[in-house]
Amino acid sequence: MASDLAFVEFVVDQLDEDLSATWKRMFGEFGLYADGTFFGVICDNRLFVKPTEAGRAFIVDVVEAPPYPGARPSLLIEHRIDDPGWLSELVRITVEALPKQRPRKGRGKR
C-alpha cells in the first residue's frame, strides 16, 4: 500500500521550520530530509526514522520495525507523531548523530 501525500505533508508540517524538512518520492514511497540529510522514510503511511543511539535514548520506549520487507529495522514512530516539539527534537537529535554527507561529484560531460 502506497503512502498518501497528505500524510507525508502532515509529518513534514509537524517539524520546526529551522529543520528545513523536505521529502522526495522514493520507490513508490517517500524519503525525508532535514537540512539536506536523509533521516527517515514514510512507508504505508507509517513514519520510520534512522536508528541512532541518541534517538533510542530520547524515545526511551523504542519500537523498531523494517519499513519494507528485507530492510534493516528503523525506529517506528506512531504514538507521538502529532507532537511537533517532540518530533522536531527527535529529528534534530537523529540528524546530529548521522554522519555528514559528502558533496557528490558531478558526472561530467559524456
Residue 99 banded pLDDT, cuts 50, 70, 90: confident
Residue 109, pLDDT > 80, answer: no
3-state secondary structure the chain: CCCCHHHHHHHHHHCCHHHCCEEEEECCEEEEEECCEEEEEEECCEEEECCCHHHHHHHCCCCEECCCCCCCCEEEECCCCCCHHHHHHHHHHHHHHCCCCCCCCCCCCC
Residue 108, pLDDT > 80, answer: no
Q: What pLDDT is stored for residue 7 in this prediction?
A: 94
The average confidence (pLDDT) of the chain is 91
94: its cell numbers: 537523529
Q: What pLDDT is stored for residue 1 in this prediction?
A: 62
- For the ranges 20-24, 95-99, 104-108, the lowest mean pLDDT is seen at 104-108
Angstrom distance (rounded) from CA 16 to CA 29: 22
Express each pLDDT in 28-60 by its tens digit: 899 999 999 999 999 999 999 999 999 999 998
Express each pLDDT in 66-78 by its tens digit: 999 999 999 999 9
Q: Select from 3.30.1380, 2.30.29, 3.30.1460, 3.40.50 the CATH code of 5-97.
A: 3.30.1460
